[in-house]
Amino acid sequence: MPVKKTATKKKTAKKTMATKRPTAAGSPTEAMVVIANGDRAMDEIARDLHAAGFQVGDVLEAIGQVTGHAPANLKSRLKKIRGVQDVTGAHEDFDIGPPGAPVS
């Protein structure tokens, strides 16, 4: 766990939703986590997410989630996909600091 110094904070903040990156079409995306409701197979959900424009990262069967990226304005559409319970943005990156930090 980081004791974040100001400089580190700034750096982290940049990365944060700087998980935003452009899609092929040019619109910025952000890191998202899709939580499944358990009523449908994960690979089917992932397939539909992909078809809807979600860039699938990992399909996490054991916890019923799919990580990836999508434009923020796609969130409500993704939530309507069958088997999806929730779609959330990812928090800023972890940063425990460099080796040798006084508290971690």
Closest approach of other proteins to the CB of residue 1, in Å: 4
Furthest-apart CA atoms within the chain: distance in Å: 47
State the burial class of residue 73 (Cβ atoms within 10 Å of its Cβ: 0-12, 13-18, 19+): exposed
Position among 68, 70, 71, 78 found at the interface with other proteins (CB under 8 A): 68
Applying CB under 8 A, the site for other proteins has a residue count of 38
Interface segment toward other proteins; rule CB under 8 A; list 22-30, 44-52, 70-78, 86-94: 86-94
Please tell me whether residue 71 binds other proteins under the rule CB under 8 A.
no
| DSSP-assigned beta bridge partners for residue 60 | 65
CA–CA separation, 53 and 39 (whole Å): 22
Binding piece for other proteins, criterion CB under 8 A, among 21-29, 45-53, 71-79, 92-100? 92-100
CB of residue 54 to other proteins, shortest distance in Å: 13
* DSSP string for 5-37: -HHHHHHHHHHSGGG-EE-TTS-EEEEEEEEE-
How is residue 54 written in tokens?
A: 């979600």
> Contact positions toward other proteins, by CB under 8 A?
1-4, 12, 15, 19, 31, 33, 35, 57-58, 60-65, 67-68, 85-86, 88, 90-104
